[in-house]
Amino acid sequence: MRKKQILLLSMPFGAMERPAIGLSLLKARLTSDGIACDVRYLSFTFADMIGAEEYQWISSALPYIAFAGDWCFAEALYGPRPAADSEYLVRVLQDTWHVGEESIARVKAVRAMVGKFLNHCIECIPWKKYAAVGFTSTFEQNLASLALAKRLKAMHPRIATVFGGANWEGKMGAELHQQFGFVDYVCTGEADESFPVLAPLLLSGTAKAAALPPGIIYREDGRSLSTGYSIQVRDMDTLPVPDFSDYFREWSESSASLVTAPLVLVETSRGCWWGEKSHCTFCGLNGSMLAYRSKSGARALAEMQHLSDRWQTDNIEVVDNILNMHHFSDLLPALAADGRPWEIFYEVKANLSRAQVAALRAAGVVRIQPGIESLSDHVLKLMRKGTCGLRNVQLLKWCREYNIGVDWNILYGCPGETREDYQEMLAMLPAIEFLDPPVACGPIRMDRFSPYFEKPEEFGLINIRPMLPYEFLYPFPRENLMRIAYHFDFDYRPGQAPTGYADDVIRFVEAWRQKEERGLLCSVRRPDGSLLLRDTRPGAAIRVVKLSGSEAAAYEFCDEFHPFTAIVQYLREQSPRAEITEEGVRAFLESLEANRLMLTDGRNWLSLAVRIDEVPRANPQNYKHARRSMQ
């Protein structure tokens, strides 16, 4: 008799351009343990049925917190619920997200294909090969995974069903397990240690409670019980290299290959070292696993090289929440020395130096997500971001100079912010239109595990409730939904709600994003030592400004922002025989600010021109990047 195997599934609406790194890590680990494991991307199967463009539209173009992808599978899971469906279409898609009738018709057409898709899955997969089937669930994969698991359990009751992923962490996993009796086990939290112990128990039929590892939710006498918290990986170098072979094979055979360029995912760390020090108020990204752990530079480099060679691509998306600053002395120089035309995405912190930005570019980093969520000092302090508005602009400027694309946002509605915060920000924006615009300008969100959710009373947030779509996706009482939901709606205490003060900033950002020609503000050092500023930004009052002597020195000194007193001191040290007065320096700086050549926060001054005497080696716009941001 043939030995049974393990099957791991990635369901709609998982991203077509990315493999499921969690499943790929588990397959590599099980293979090394001598356990046969297959990974199937039924997301590709569904994309082939409905059309890859239509799949991509739902998974990427529609807001994922509208949960249209999950709604497509709701009827297959629960049966007809016409009243709930009608209310979802009106209150969520139409009223909240302003989705038009034509787009709603497209969503309905996709939903009409779900039954055929699930039947195909049941009929075409050789289920008898497998002792257990694992489902990963993040973003909009939950209802598709549950719908298939329900049919699978009805047809093959001896096959164990196991769920994991971000949608099943902590209380969410416990509540979902309690509500859906066809789910046998949940791997909650990191599954690197728990699932490789559970899998052989399922294969041998010995998965008794006493033998289960930490991090497992199981069923006994109709009750959901837990073995406690999962064991976190401490030594990241012990993790296997993810096995993406199933993904690349299925991608190449799917219509997805016609509309997406696949990315290789690399994980060099977990958790967030900044969050350990100062947890950003709205961030729930790391769940219960905030503790920062990192691979060594040598291991990270070897993994990138191996995956690049194996899959013949230099396009790497690092999935970390934040770059390990030690990698500036090991990994990044090694990537630069490697010589490949890397195209790497990394999440970083915004307080980088010019030298560090140059090091990123030399290493092949072409796009970053630096956690810039505002340009207001006050708002950033309320968010606990550990940066300031000028520092954020400074990074945007240096990234423009080194040709690194930046994904950033402006979030509004932070408890404690004021109308003045947005008036000050609005005054700043016209000067930086030549830099990368925000990806989005939107309201803050309350996510599970964030300080806003854990301690709402500290921030004046009241009436916490599951975000509206959950009411139509899970037909359970509010108290149960509070344990299932990851995203939440809320109210402000009386007198604290935003009252339209961000509207002008929102409109400005939208216009900024639509502009095809944003011009440039640059500086060129002349042979005679003077500094030439060229301004091709729309509406520039002076197109060319020549600075000499102390004026040029002051402007270049403020390439990195400095307080006024430091500027005066620097100029006096540089020109000890010159008469440098505070009044003269201030008048000079204010004249440059008036012409949008500098920014000030009232204390510090920042020059805005990018230097063009250093030529970048590539254009980051060629980098196919479509990362789904949680915010």
pLDDT band, very low/low/confident/very high, at 2 (cuts 50, 70, 90): confident
Is residue 323 within 8 Å of residue 349, measured between CB atoms?
A: yes
pLDDT of residue 24: 99
| Three-state SS at 389 | helix
Over residues 302-313, the pLDDT tens digits come to 999 999 999 999
Residue 619 pLDDT greater than 60, yes or no: no
Whole-angstrom CA distances from 326 to 162, 317, 333, 352 are 37, 19, 11, 13
Average pLDDT, the chain: 95
Please name the helix (run of DSSP H) or strand (run of DSSP E) that holds residue 40, with its range, or none. Answer: strand 37-41
- Spatial separation of the C-alpha atoms in residues 157 and 179, rounded to whole Å: 18
Beginning with the edge strand found earlier in the chain, give each strand of the sheet holding 315-318 in spatial order: 264-266, 315-318, 343-347, 365-369, 405-406
Residue-wise pLDDT for 324-341, tens only, equals 999 999 999 999 999 999
Q: Please, are residues 396 and 408 in contact by the beta-carbon 8 Å criterion?
A: yes
Cis peptide before 13 (omega within 30 of 0): yes
Whether the predicted pLDDT of 624 surpasses 90: no
Digit-coded pLDDT (tens) for 216-273: 999 999 999 999 999 999 999 999 999 999 999 999 999 999 999 999 999 999 999 9
C-alpha–C-alpha distance, residues 600 and 563, integer Å = 9
The pLDDT, as a whole number, for residue 250 is 98
Say if residues 6 and 129 touch (Cβ distance below 8 Å). no
Confidence of residue 629 (pLDDT cuts 50, 70, 90): very low
CATH numeric code, 521-611 = 1.10.10
Helix (H) or strand (E) holding 610: strand 610-611
The arithmetic mean of pLDDT across residues 535-556, rounded, is 94
Answer yes or no: is pLDDT of 67 > 70: yes
Rounded to whole angstroms, the Cα distance separating 166 from 142 reads 10
Question: Secondary structure of 525-583 in the HEC alphabet?
Answer: ECCCCCEEEEECCCCCCCCEEEECHHHHHHHHHCCCCEEHHHHHHHHHHHCCCCCCCHH
In this structure, are residues 388 and 601 in contact, taking their beta carbons and an 8 Å threshold? yes
pTM: 0.93
Lowest-confidence region among 182-196, 283-297, 368-382, 604-618: 604-618
Per DSSP, 330 falls in state T
Distance CA 432, CA 429 (A): 5
> How are the residues of the chain apportioned to helix, strand and coil, as percentages rounded to the nearest 5?
45, 15, 40
- Name the DSSP letter for residue 507: H
What percent of the chain clears pLDDT 90, i.e. is strictly above it? 92
CA nearest to 271, candidates 391, 449, 409:
449
Q: Using the predicted structure, report yes or no on whether residue 289 has a pLDDT greater than 90.
A: no
109-154, pLDDT tens digit by residue? 999 999 999 999 999 999 999 999 999 999 999 999 999 999 999 9
- Tell me the residue type at 208: K
Map out the domains of the chain as residue ranges: 5-226, 263-460+496-514, 521-611
- pLDDT classification of 1: cutoffs 50, 70, 90: low
Give whole-number Cα distances, 193 to 231, 239, 333, 392, in Å: 6, 10, 32, 39
CA atoms within 13 A on the CB side of 370: 30
Burial of 358 (0-12, 13-18, 19+ CB in 10 A): middle
- Which CATH number applies to 263-460+496-514? 3.20.20.70
Give the model confidence (pLDDT) of 157-170 as tens digits.
Answer: 999 999 999 999 99
For residue 628, pLDDT over 50 is answered with no
Helix (H) or strand (E) holding 82: helix 82-87
Query: Tens digits of per-residue pLDDT, 26-53?
Result: 999 999 999 999 999 999 999 999 999 9
- Spatial separation of the C-alpha atoms in residues 630 and 119, rounded to whole Å: 32
Q: How much of the chain, in percent, has pLDDT values that exceed 70?
A: 97
Same fold flag, 263-460+496-514 and 521-611: no
What pLDDT does 598 receive? 98
Q: Which of 95, 60, 56, 87 is nearest to 71 (CA)?
A: 87
